Amino acid sequence: MFSTTDQIIECVPNFSEGRNHNIIKAIEASIANTPHVKLMHVDIGLDANRTVYTFAGKPDAVLDAAFYAIKTAAELIDMNTHKGEHPRIGACDVCPLIPIQNISMEEVVQLSKKLGERIGSIGIPVYLYEYSAQKSNRKNLTNIRKGEYEGLKKKLMINEWIPDYGPRAFNQQFGAMALGARKFLLAYNINLKSKDEHLAKEIAKQIRIIRDKKDNSYESNLFNHVKTIGWYMKEFQCTQISTNITDIEASPLIDVFTQIQKIARVYGIDTNGSELIGLLPLKALQHPKMTIDEAIEYLGLNAVKKFNKQERIIEYYLHIHP
């Protein structure tokens, strides 16, 4: 489908539905039926009540697929009744665009603006974030999500939070969404051999404390691009340290796992492998002392869900690795 000379971008929209399979399938179909796009993975989170779709392709085709998926969500998801573990502001909570091959970040920023204008035209408030952010307080997704869907009506009344695209009026059924160009982000969860949610939250808090010290220590530097929360996942009968790794070069996946494992053991808790949401680039698993297969084994990526490297590593899936 693709060659090594094509421009390719990835899109990883997160939708606030993880339980109604008819809705999940309808959004999936809107992506899969778009020409020149490859739907690579669908990750359904029952407890989070959230589904993450990962797809890639030529830029304009990816924009089409994202728009169709968001339009479908706007028609089928009602945020008035949504409950889940994960923070969210709308039916499509966030839609990142990531450069994969032969395309610059600035080009992807322009694509995000083009998509934002299109989404806004159907009545959805859109906030640009990360590299696309037009205001400094919108660069960080956490700021946009603050107050979540439940606080959105009041937030929209504040001049500081007028959307970048779409109406300022509260869209009760959909809510709002974040959209932007960003680097690879790994949504990555470490399993704990514990059902104690309080301890999981304490471990996540300790990681944030170490990160925010900014004392130039190894751990503080390592966690500088790592966001964490602790939660209990009934589906897996364990707690997890849920992380977003926003820079896989500054905060290498294997090192992050190793250090969080050490911190958990200080609290008397061992780990039981880990879970990757969506796909990851090949370089995230490359390590000078391990093969790719050894890295997968070390991280325990098969612990709660099967991890097939041919389907979960982007370059393998798209057949564009050297």
Do 248 and 169 meet the contact criterion of CB atoms below 8 Å apart? Answer: no
Distance from C-alpha of 235 to C-alpha of 289, rounded to nearest angstrom: 34
Element counts in the chain: helices (H) and strands (E) = 11, 11
Task: Report CA 34 to chain centroid distance, whole Å.
Answer: 22
**Signed CA dihedral, 299, 304, 309, 313: sign only:** negative
Sheet with 271-277, side-by-side order of all strands: 226-233, 238-245, 186-192, 271-277
**Residues contacting residue 301 through CB under 8 Å, at least 6 positions apart:** 273, 274, 275, 276, 307
Longest CA–CA span in the chain (Å) reads 54
Q: Closest by alpha carbon to 262, among 276, 241, 285?
A: 241
The reply to whether 86 belongs to the active site is yes
- What count of Cα atoms within 13 Å lies in the side-chain half-sphere of residue 79? 26
Give the SS3 label for residue 86. Answer: coil
Catalytic residue among 36, 86, 287, 321: 86
CB atoms within 10 A of CB 158: 8
Residues 79 and 173: beta-carbon distance below 8 Å: yes
Task: Please provide the DSSP assignment of 257-320 as one string.
Answer: HHHHHHHHHHTT--EEEEEEES-B-GGGG-BTTB-HHHHHHHHTTTSSS---HHHHBHHHHHT-
SS3 25: helix
Q: Looking at the annotation, which residues are catalytic? A: 86
